[in-house]
Structure 1
Amino acid sequence: MLDFITAFTVILPAIFFFFLFRKTEKSKNGKSTELLPPGPKKLPVIGNLHQMSHPVSRCLRDLSNQHGPLMHLKLGEASAVVVSSPEITKQIMKDLDPSFAGRARTLAADIMWYNRSDVAFCPYGDYWRQMRKLCINDFLSPKMVRLFESIRRDESNRLVDSLRESSGSSVNLTEKLFSMTSDITCRAAFGAVSEDSETLIELVVESLKLAAGFEMVDLFPSSRIVAALSWRKVRRLRTMRRKLDEIMDGIIKRHRRNGAGGGRNSEFGGDDLVDVFLRAKEEEQLQYPIDDNNIKAVLYDIFTAGTDSIAITLDWIMVELLRHPRVMAKAQAEVRQAMKENTKLSEVVYNLKYLKLVIKEILRIHPPAPFIPRTCDKKTVINGYTIPVGTIILVNNWAMQRDPSFWKDPEKFEPERFENQDVDFIGGDFEYIPFGAGRRMCPGMVYGLANMELALAQLLYNFDWKLPEGEKAEDMDMTETIGLAPARKLNLFVVATPYN
């Protein structure tokens, strides 16, 4: 978003606005009498783009404070409605869910997710239900997540061993967390750690930045001028897609060579996720037949969510714990006390109440998806205002989870707030929906939490933590990156001292 604003307001000459205005301005005859939600005044052509700033979630919160919890914006050619109240969110994600279960089209999603034939960016409908069901039944169900416990244990132990080797030295914990979550997901979904995991991580980070929907080409899809000016971005995406094809084709070829089924690809003697999709394709019993591109789209989905979101959340946890030594000490004391009674950390983790409170608080203050994008697929009236078909819906989850109307001292990192607050993230409390809600709620919630809990318990039990010499926790740069899942802009470097 920041790159777009800079280009649009500083770099592009005024003549561009003139020609774009002539190209995109619609006739004012026959104006609709439908009442749109209130919003800030709009300029010709660019609408409200001049009012956007980074971070987008905070910017939208500030605008909503002026114009209301149901706010209309014009973002170039796109009509958008920002929702920042739990009551309206409940209407959209529960009461009227099918009408608001779509996803906006973006250039990055079209290219990197194979014409949106995945699950996350796919249009709502029967094909989406088919692919989502396959993912849940054969990878993301509680039964399968329990089966992956040995993988979580192996990879978190590898992380601990790696940190012990660099004892006393400054290490890039962010990179190590991404490596761990990548290896867990590759072993669970693809049957083995990918030799190209570093390239995959780079592709994920870059494509999620571009898939947020705030690129010029996404906001002015009918403009040939914008399309021409975006050629570098298109070329970069196509180069990224070729790299992704090479990696995913290699994974699929390995499974075909070994033969799907019979436990030849999975660590558990059964089929892994690639086997499941290959068998479904060959048996031709699906309502919507699939090809290799469909399979690659879903595999990239799984890798993206299973690597990026989890690693980013763990990184935010460690940042906040370093900034709040009291919470760090309390969480460490709980884990270490529990380990005196049971030497198996994977068994202990399920009963670590305070650790779970820490994760819940991180998901509140640093949600994996600060705003939840939907589209309106059926003209709907909410609170007397008309939401036209095709409108982009931005549920400002970040704003609701920091709203002082629902949270005491919302800017404070305080896990204890959940001890006496009967609020959970399973999709029923709409002031707290870090995983979304309704039909398009994140299907990987159980998988993600299991990976986070064990990894965090390992880090807290095995090490004492501090920042490198000369750095102070209160001076840490908390600036976020741009994208669907904002990470901290700077990698986290720490000194890990083994705990005896």
Structure 2
Amino acid sequence: MDLYLFLSCSLCLIFTATFLHLLGRSKSSSDRAPAGKLPPGPTRLPIIGNLHNLGPNPHKSLADLAKVHGPLMSLKLGQVTTIVASSPAMAKEILQKHDKVLSNRHVNLAMEALDHHKFSLPLLPVESKYWRNLRKVCNSYIFTAQRLDSNEELRRVKVAELVEGVRRNASERPGEAIDVARVAFRATLNAMSSTILSMDLADEERSEAAREFKELARGIMEDCATPNLGDFFPLLARMDLQGIKRRVKGHLRKALDLFQTVIDNRLRNRKSESYVSANDMLDTLLAIGEEEEEDKDKAAAMDPLRIQRLCVDLFVAGTDTTSTTLEWAMAELLRNPNTLAKAREELDATIGKGNNFQESDVSRLPYLQAILKETFRLHPAAPLLLPRKGGEDVEICGFTMPKGVQILVNVWAIGRDPMIWDDPNAFVPERFLGSELSAKGNSFELLPFGAGRRICPGLPLALRILHMMLGSLIHWFDWKLSDGVEPEKLDMDEKFGMALQKAKPLLAIPTPR
């Protein structure tokens, strides 16, 4: 929902909010006057604070405000004190220097549906044993280089199927455009489900299931990003006035049921004497869970219900952000034909025309890597990352980050900062050639996956899938925009959400090379 429309529709509730606001001032931790000096920020209005400053694209509005108030600024969003970091130095203070006490999440009401925040890796408090165990499992068993190398062939087959599907479409319907995000979502879903579950959640027999899962994933992502009165005025939280929590509950229940069916089938198969391990991530998780059953401490054990929740996190977040990033990369290449030509020349010279793309080829393709880094810079999938929450009062550059404060890191603003980047709004992959800047959380100028304890655990898999899909689409096809659209006139407007999407889907015509 457009934030302006949201505020207009909320006017009828302002008097109620005002009353509750005054009634609850002494009880609301986010509304107490913090000890110390907050960073500067824009003037606040009564009741709504700075909500009116956000607009339909908060990442852009906050970037503009940072130009006036500085790279560390404070706002009041309803009753919630919020601090926004908009520079690499401030991001480093939050995500590295003070990471230990600023790592917990500010959880919105939508993600409390079905108590998902109590099971979710991105949302659990870092001091919990369950969170520590989940991170250990992801880092030591699931997303290790050795594990991903072992199932590379599964992803290669899925990318080959993507290429064949696009080729078949071009042959049967020459000159017809395809929706790049749609085919990318399907391929991403298959690549992930093959790696994690040894099955295709989007094969021909499950085409309806793939469509439904996309709707579920998109619904969860959009509803969780929709402005919610209860998030800004905590005393209204229980009312769920906009029905957001109720909708997310419905989406989550369907997604959980899907993965529960898969897990139940695997558990039955594992009991068979003839069962041969799939050696995938699901088998690994179930085996870990069986070992942990012997442990007296069940609080952190990987039981089937927790594996089910982890699957929801991995698939909902991973499919939407990955397919959205691929769409942005293709849009930038089609808008910059010379860049596309350079990428194809590198692929032809390194791999050779007609030869298949392998994950091992990526290390020999610096320009392809640079294209994705430039896409991450201009179009980070999570422009404000996920909100953090202050665990205790922290002083940064003479300002106080009070306990309980909501903390946002505007990686979109950092990626467009003219003090950091030459010609920051232009798509220039060459800026990364020979550069040591990495998208893996150690370069605070480029933070598409976050950094510190809360860095995205699926980063290694996402990078492999993105390079394979983008490289293959460039390698095997020529592309042009549909309806005679000139490259320089391609609509690049954004639609804000938990994943930063193109406002208008990219429609492009493939021609096999």
The answer to whether TM tops 0.5 is yes
Contact 2:177–2:507 (8 Å) recurs in 1: yes
Query: Match for residue 137 of structure 2?
Result: 134
Classify the secondary structure of the residue corresponding to 1:369.
coil
Contact 2:113–2:246 (8 Å) recurs in 1: no
Q: Could you tell me which amino acid in structure 2 is paired with residue 317 of structure 1?
A: A
Aligned-residue offset at 1:444:
1.7
Q: 1:432-489: CA deviations, max 9, x gaps?
A: 2222111111222211111111111211111000112332322322222232211112
1:22 aligns with 2:19: yes
Aligned-residue offset at 1:418:
1.0
Aligned-residue offset at 1:492:
1.8
Query: Match for residue 463 of structure 1?
Result: 477
In the alignment, the residues of structure 2 paired with residue 283 and residue 162 of structure 1 have an alpha-carbon distance, to the nearest angstrom, of: 47
Contact 1:182–1:307 (8 Å) recurs in 2: yes
Q: Mapping of 1:130-209 within 5 angstroms? A: 130-167=133-170, 168=174, 169-194=176-201, 195=206, 196-209=209-222
Q: Could you tell me which amino acid in structure 1 is paired with residue 267 of structure 2?
A: R
1:313 aligns with 2:313: no
RMSD of the alignment, in Å? 2.5
Q: CA 1:315/1:264 → structure 2, altered by over 3 Å: closer, same or farther? A: farther
Q: CA 1:160/1:113 → structure 2, altered by over 3 Å: closer, same or farther? A: farther
Aligned-residue offset at 1:287:
5.8
Q: Could you tell me which amino acid in structure 1 is paired with residue 253 of structure 2?
A: R
Q: CA 1:335/1:260 → structure 2, altered by over 3 Å: closer, same or farther? A: farther
Q: 1:271-313: CA deviations, max 9, x gaps?
A: 6355346435644465624454422221111112331221111
In the alignment, the residues of structure 1 paired with residue 414 and residue 221 of structure 2 have an alpha-carbon distance, to the nearest angstrom, of: 23
Aligned-residue offset at 1:23:
1.1
Contact 2:91–2:409 (8 Å) recurs in 1: yes
Query: Match for residue 68 of structure 2?
Result: 66
Query: Match for residue 256 of structure 1?
Result: 267
In the alignment, the residues of structure 2 paired with residue 407 and residue 263 of structure 1 have an alpha-carbon distance, to the nearest angstrom, of: 59
Contact 2:196–2:281 (8 Å) recurs in 1: no
Aligned-residue offset at 1:27:
6.0
Query: Match for residue 56 of structure 1?
Result: 58
Q: 1:305-355: CA deviations, max 9, x gaps?
A: 331221111111100000000000010111112233993421433311111
Aligned-residue offset at 1:200:
2.1
Aligned-residue offset at 1:107:
2.0
Q: CA 1:404/1:189 → structure 2, altered by over 3 Å: closer, same or farther? A: same
1:449 to 454, 463, 477: 463
Classify the secondary structure of the residue corresponding to 1:38.
coil
Q: CA 1:261/1:90 → structure 2, altered by over 3 Å: closer, same or farther? A: farther
Q: 1:137-173: CA deviations, max 9, x gaps?
A: 2221111111221111101110111111111222222
Query: Match for residue 363 of structure 2?
Result: 350
In the alignment, the residues of structure 1 paired with residue 412 and residue 291 of structure 2 have an alpha-carbon distance, to the nearest angstrom, of: 39
1:275 to 264, 286, 304: 286
In the alignment, the residues of structure 2 paired with residue 306 and residue 51 of structure 1 have an alpha-carbon distance, to the nearest angstrom, of: 31
In structure 2, stretches of 5+ residues that fail to align are: none
Q: CA 1:85/1:454 → structure 2, altered by over 3 Å: closer, same or farther? A: same
Query: Match for residue 210 of structure 1?
Result: 223
Q: Mapping of 1:222-241 within 5 angstroms? A: 222-223=235-236, 227=239, 229-230=241-242, 232-241=243-252
Classify the secondary structure of the residue corresponding to 2:511.
strand
1:247 aligns with 2:258: yes
Greater shift, 207-216 or 122-131, is seen at: 207-216
Q: 1:40-98: CA deviations, max 9, x gaps?
A: 11112111001111221111011111111111111112110001122222111111111
Classify the secondary structure of the residue corresponding to 1:393.
strand
In structure 1, stretches of 5+ residues that fail to align are: none
Q: Could you tell me which amino acid in structure 2 is paired with residue 419 of structure 1?
A: L
Contact 2:197–2:280 (8 Å) recurs in 1: no
1:405 aligns with 2:385: no
In the alignment, the residues of structure 2 paired with residue 229 and residue 270 of structure 1 have an alpha-carbon distance, to the nearest angstrom, of: 40
Contact 2:491–2:504 (8 Å) recurs in 1: yes
Aligned-residue offset at 1:12:
3.4
Q: CA 1:200/1:262 → structure 2, altered by over 3 Å: closer, same or farther? A: farther
Q: CA 1:289/1:181 → structure 2, altered by over 3 Å: closer, same or farther? A: same
Contact 2:48–2:78 (8 Å) recurs in 1: yes
* TM-score calculated relative to the size of structure 1: 0.92
- Identity over aligned residues, as a percent? 32
Query: Match for residue 402 of structure 2?
Result: 388
- Tell me the matched-pair count: 494
Q: 1:377-426: CA deviations, max 9, x gaps?
A: 11111112111111010011111111111110010000001124332223
Greater shift, 382-391 or 267-276, is seen at: 267-276
Contact 1:213–1:219 (8 Å) recurs in 2: no
1:40 to 39, 42, 46: 42
